[in-house]
């Protein structure tokens, strides 16, 4: 388990601070992550990678010459926010454009996509490439739905080496996509990881059993079987990957491959070497020539006891990219020019606080109610954070409680600051929206930012809120979440609660009910809908491969939304 921490919600920030203090030769801090301590040559494409904390040396440990130009680092197992990604990219950019790279997870897709849109709008040409190497997470026909695990490394490196060669943005993107198309990974685990502050692992397997096809966020495997010998583990890993060759590879004999045997946290190097001994034998017997293999911890999951095997099938383009030199805190190969020691001083990129828009007295009064509601949300999330984490861990990664706690605390604090500065309700709630999305990261952070922005826009800063304006804001929030996240009712997400809540609220208001009574009716509908998600199976998101595990347990996002709207009703009843 994770034993050394202070406040669990501060773990990711404090870990990044310590990482920078230990590696200032390679990196310097920016808001949301790190960039190279010595900037890349002018005009070189900047490769910016990122994802959640808890996977070191991914992602911050891979920043340096020959590899990433910057890394955006999110909360534990949660994607960084769009603002964090944008800030890192702006600081890494030297005029050649930016390539954003990340594992194919819903939160990362949302936030990196939003950051790319913002960067392009600001005149910085930006593209995105997600890594999809895990063969256990979707069928071959749905490769675009696969998640990224330890295959991140060869794909990131191919792009970075192409950038070092001086290729333009189109060329770097092409190298990344080509490497991704030829990379496959498969993993096994003997026990799950434990998040900071949690008292139990995200999943367990019986003594003598192992999970097969697990994810790097503690998602349980797609099946279980008896724990084999080291040779047996090697045979399972190799046979699984040789059973699915990428397009263009019809027979492994005579092919060359980059090979990574990755430890996920507590499998020690000596154990890895015992397994790799047999991996090397099996690949040789299959006629595969291994090129510069890597055995060690490249993408971890806290204290998970497990290993994964990655094969990147090389060709004339990819091999020199794989063997090119790199010098980062956690990954070094060949020779590159080492940067001079960097400064530990953080690059300040936050924009100065904008002037608070003018607001009427009645809207400032409404802002006080909004602050009270956000305080109730924060307190409710804090009370239920461990419960939300347990629910999320059944078929997901168990980070929902931590993310919601970080987001709700930041949202409340931002709204307090705005209200104290004289902001109206719309501005105060909008500030809360930005803070929630930025601090929480992940899918839920993005979606709660959308929810609060929609409500804030409806409230405005001049008029007294009415039941109708509030209902309109919630209805727009419902529509915006579906547009952004792509989920619909029945997919086992927060949408299963948000839609009936919004529809019931709008219907009650249309029938003439006062806001408090209408909200009460809608909150009851939300609670019923949240409970009903226990009978659904996930059709999107990280839990999708684990439909059987999910049955009988409500969706964590749906449950937290139901708790929140009931807490807000208590505020409305007293204001």
Instruction: Flag residues of the chain having pLDDT under 70.
Output: 1, 218, 220-221, 337-354, 395-397, 540-549
Q: Would residue 400 show up in a list of annotated catalytic residues for this protein?
A: no
> What is the structure's pLDDT at 278?
98
C-alpha span between 425 and 460 (Å, rounded): 6
Which position has the token pair 């990224």? 148
Residue found by looking up tokens 């090397």 in the block: 280
Query: What is this structure's pTM?
Result: 0.84
**Hunting for tokens 């002037």 — which residue is that?**
355
Cα 121 to Cα 143: distance, rounded to the nearest angstrom: 30
State how far the Cα of 363 lies from the Cα of 261, in Å rounded to an integer: 59
Q: What sign does the dihedral 130-131-134-140 (CA atoms) show?
A: positive
Q: What is the mean pLDDT of the chain?
A: 92
Q: Contact, 355 vs 345, CB < 8 A?
A: no
Cα end-to-end distance, the chain, whole Å: 44
Q: Which residue has the tokens 């404090």?
A: 14
Say whether the peptide bond before residue 57 is cis (omega within 30 degrees of 0).
Answer: yes
- The pLDDT tens digits for 179-190 are 999 999 999 999
SS3 (DSSP) at 189? strand
Burial code (b: 16+ CB inside 10 Å, e: under 16) for 62-74 equals bbbbbbbbbbbbb
Q: Quick one: tokens of 346? A: 């953080």
**Residue 476: partners with Cβ closer than 8 Å, 6 or more residues away:** 454, 457, 458
User: Alpha helices, DSSP H only, in 442-545?
Assistant: 442-459, 467-485, 495-510, 515-532
Q: Alpha-carbon distance 123 to 113, whole Å?
A: 16
| DSSP 8-state symbol, 41 | P
Q: What integer pLDDT is reported at residue 195 of this predicted model?
A: 86
* Spatial CB neighbours of 13, under 8 Å, sequence gap ≥ 6: none
Question: Residue 177 is inside which H or E element, if any?
Answer: helix 169-181
Please name the helix (run of DSSP H) or strand (run of DSSP E) that holds residue 404, with its range, or none. Answer: helix 400-420
- Whether the Cβ atoms of residue 398 and residue 198 lie closer than 8 Å to each other: yes
- DSSP E strand boundaries for 54-158: 70-76, 98-103, 126-131
Question: What is the layout of strands, in order, in the sheet containing 70-76?
Answer: 27-30, 33-36, 70-76, 46-53, 98-103, 126-131
Q: Which of 492, 569, 559 is nearest to 527 (CA)?
A: 559
Kindly write down the DSSP assignment for every residue of 529-556, as one continuous string. HHHHGGG----SSTTGGGHHHHTTS--H
Enclosing H/E stretch for 52: strand 46-53
DSSP strands (E only) in 164-302 = 183-191, 209-212, 223-226, 256-263, 289-296
At 154, phi and psi to the nearest 5? -65, -30
Cα dihedral value 442, 443, 445, 446, nearest 10:
120
In the prediction, which pLDDT does 361 show? 96
Helix or strand (DSSP H, E) at 87: helix 82-92
> How many Å is the maximal CA-CA distance in the chain?
79
Q: Are 78 and 413 in contact (CB under 8 A)?
A: no
* Separation of alpha carbons 430 and 449, rounded Å: 8
pLDDT score, position 547 = 53
Give the whole-angstrom CA distance, residue 554 versus residue 394: 10
Of 73, 61, 74, which Cα lies nearest the Cα of 25?
61
Question: Is residue 332 packed enough to be buried (19+ CB in 10 Å), middle (13-18) or exposed (0-12)?
Answer: middle
The pair of three-digit structure tokens given for residue 322, joined into one six-digit string: 């794989």
Strand 46-53 with 98-103, pairing? parallel
Tokens of 493: 């997400």
Active-site annotation holder among 111, 217, 412, 546 = 217
Question: Which residues, in sequence order, are bridge partners of residue 50?
Answer: 72
Beta-carbon contacts of 174 under 8 Å, excluding residues fewer than 6 positions away, are none
Residue 383: strand, helix, or coil: helix
Sheet containing 289-296: which strands, arranged edge to edge? 223-226, 209-212, 183-191, 305-314, 256-263, 289-296
């Amino acid at each position: 388990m994770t034993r050394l921490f202070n406040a669990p919600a501060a773990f990711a920030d404090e870990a990044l601070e310590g990482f920078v203090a230990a590696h200032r030769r390679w990196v310097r801090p920016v808001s949301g992550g790190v960039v190279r301590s010595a900037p890349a040559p002018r005009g070189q494409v900047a490769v910016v990678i990122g994802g959640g904390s808890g996977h070191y040396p991914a992602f911050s440990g891979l920043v340096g010459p020959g590899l990433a130009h910057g890394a955006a680092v999110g909360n534990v197992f949660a994607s960084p926010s769009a603002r964090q990604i944008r800030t890192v990219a702006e600081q890494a950019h030297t005029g050649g454009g930016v390539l954003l790279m990340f594992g194919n997870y819903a939160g990362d897709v949302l936030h990196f996509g939003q950051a790319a849109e913002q960067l392009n709008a600001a005149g910085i040409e930006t593209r995105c490439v997600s890594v999809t190497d895990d063969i256990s997470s979707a069928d071959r026909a749905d490769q675009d739905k696969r998640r990224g695990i330890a295959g991140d490394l060869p794909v990131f490196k191919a792009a970075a080496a192409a950038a070092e060669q001086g290729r333009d943005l189109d060329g770097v993107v092409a190298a990344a996509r080509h490497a991704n198309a030829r990379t496959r990974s498969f993993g096994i685990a003997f026990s799950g990881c434990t998040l900071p502050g949690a008292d139990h692992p995200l999943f367990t397997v019986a003594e003598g059993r192992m999970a097969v096809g697990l994810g790097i966020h503690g998602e349980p495997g797609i099946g279980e079987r008896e724990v084999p010998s080291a040779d047996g583990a090697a045979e399972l890993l190799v046979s699984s990957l040789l059973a699915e060759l990428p397009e263009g590879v019809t027979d492994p004999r005579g092919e060359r491959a980059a090979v990574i045997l990755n430890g996920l946290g507590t499998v020690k190097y000596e154990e890895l070497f015992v397994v790799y001994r047999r991996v090397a034998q099996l690949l040789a017997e299959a006629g595969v020539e291994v090129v510069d293999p890597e055995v060690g911890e490249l993408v971890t999951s806290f204290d998970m006891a497990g290993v994964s095997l990655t094969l990147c099938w090389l060709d004339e383009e990819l091999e020199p990219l794989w063997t090119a030199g790199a010098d980062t805190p956690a990954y070094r190969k060949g020779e590159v020019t080492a940067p001079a020691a960097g400064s530990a001083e953080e690059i300040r990129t936050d924009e100065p606080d904008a002037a608070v828009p003018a607001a009427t007295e009645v809207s400032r009064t409404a802002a006080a109610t909004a602050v009270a509601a956000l305080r109730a949300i924060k307190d409710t999330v804090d009370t239920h954070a461990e419960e939300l984490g347990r629910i999320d861990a059944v078929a997901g990664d168990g980070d929902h409680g931590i993310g919601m706690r970080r987001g709700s605390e930041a949202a409340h604090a931002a709204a307090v600051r705005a209200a104290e500065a004289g902001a109206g309700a719309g501005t105060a709630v909008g500030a809360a929206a930005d803070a929630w999305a930025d601090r929480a990261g992940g899918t839920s952070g993005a979606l709660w930012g959308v929810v609060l922005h929609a409500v804030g826009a409806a409230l405005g800063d001049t008029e007294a809120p009415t039941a109708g304006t509030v209902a309109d804001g919630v209805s727009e929030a419902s529509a915006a979440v579906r547009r952004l996240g792509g989920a619909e009712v029945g997919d086992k997400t927060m949408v299963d609660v948000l839609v009936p809540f919004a529809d019931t609220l709008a219907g009650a208001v249309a029938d003439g009910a006062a806001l408090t009574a209408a909200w009460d009716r809608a909150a009851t509908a939300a609670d019923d809908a949240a409970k009903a998600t226990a009978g659904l199976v996930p059709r999107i998101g990280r839990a999708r491969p684990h439909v059987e595990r999910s049955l009988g347990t409500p969706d964590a996002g749906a449950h937290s939304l139901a708790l929140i709207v009931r807490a807000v009703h208590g505020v409305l009843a007293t204001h």
